[in-house]
Amino acid sequence: MQKMKKAMLLAPAVALGLTAMGAAPAMAEQAEQAETTYSTTLGEVNNSAATGLAWVEVDGSQATVTIQTKGLAETFKDAAYPHVQHIHIGAQGTCPTMADDANGDGIISTVEGKPAYGKIGTTLSVGNAAKDASTATDVTVAPSGASYTYKETFKLNEKTQDALAGGTGVVVVHGLDPANQPAAAAETKSNLAPKLPLAATAPALCGSLEMMPAGGADTGVTQTEQGSGTGNEMGMMALGGGLIAAAGAGYVIRRNRASARN
């Protein structure tokens, strides 16, 4: 009888232990999903001749965005050229080509590129400036110069989080040198900020963000840096090929997992 009582007392404890063991993988999977990194190689748009890389590390609702650029327009009116930049969302999740130059003026405007990369989900401003559409064309809170390292951590809005998870997040860096643009567009004003030249808000770099495998490489950038290229920048550029290859692998893994669930 005593042995039977002990067995009866042990049974709930064993059941509880098995339940906890069953829950552990699910909890681990949720923790893994909560920390996700997306990355992209930024390709030139409008023959900007610029290059770059971008990472978005998402941990819950917090995001750390790192962008490296090189070869952008350097100065405008004797000052460092400001480059407004965003995560665009809600469209095809791709970058525009010259085929999207609807009016044939030789330059893809931000509006002409919208069917490819979508609307602004998050403005990648510097410091404590708002990360929403209110600072979308505010050049005073944009990184500047031909080459810069940008790194900011902030709360990421849900629409941008959903776009990243759905594969439609695109990083776009704006700002071209008006002097290097076709004559038909050189004197045209921006359809987003009429006080600025069309080139000032036109896209110069673009990249579709892809999910990286868990445990993707660290960028190694520790602070926001502006101005000429840095050692961190050169190191990231050298690592870019391998990291972006990993990003592609992560995208395949994500698609396979989605297919398995369906």
- Mean pLDDT value of segment 234-249: 42
pTM of the full structure: 0.72
Give the alpha-carbon dihedral of 230, 232, 235, 237, to 10 degrees.
-70
Q: What is the pLDDT of residue 23?
A: 46
Residue from 77, 107, 235 nearest 181 by CA: 107
User: pLDDT for 40-86, tens place per residue?
Assistant: 999 999 999 999 999 999 999 999 999 999 999 999 888 999 999 99
149 token code pair: 């390292």
- Our CA angle for 73, 124, 158, nearest 5°, is 150
**CA 209, CA 180: separation in Å to the nearest integer?**
28
User: pLDDT for 193-223, tens place per residue?
Assistant: 888 888 889 999 999 999 998 755 554 443 3
- Mean pLDDT value of segment 237-255: 41
Write phi, then psi, for 57 (nearest 5 degrees). Answer: -100, 115
166 token code pair: 């759905």
Fold of 37-254: Immunoglobulin-like (2.60.40)
pLDDT surpassing 60 at residue 16: no
SS3 177: coil
Mean pLDDT, the chain, rounded, equals 78
Give the start-to-end residue ranges of the domains of the chain.
37-254
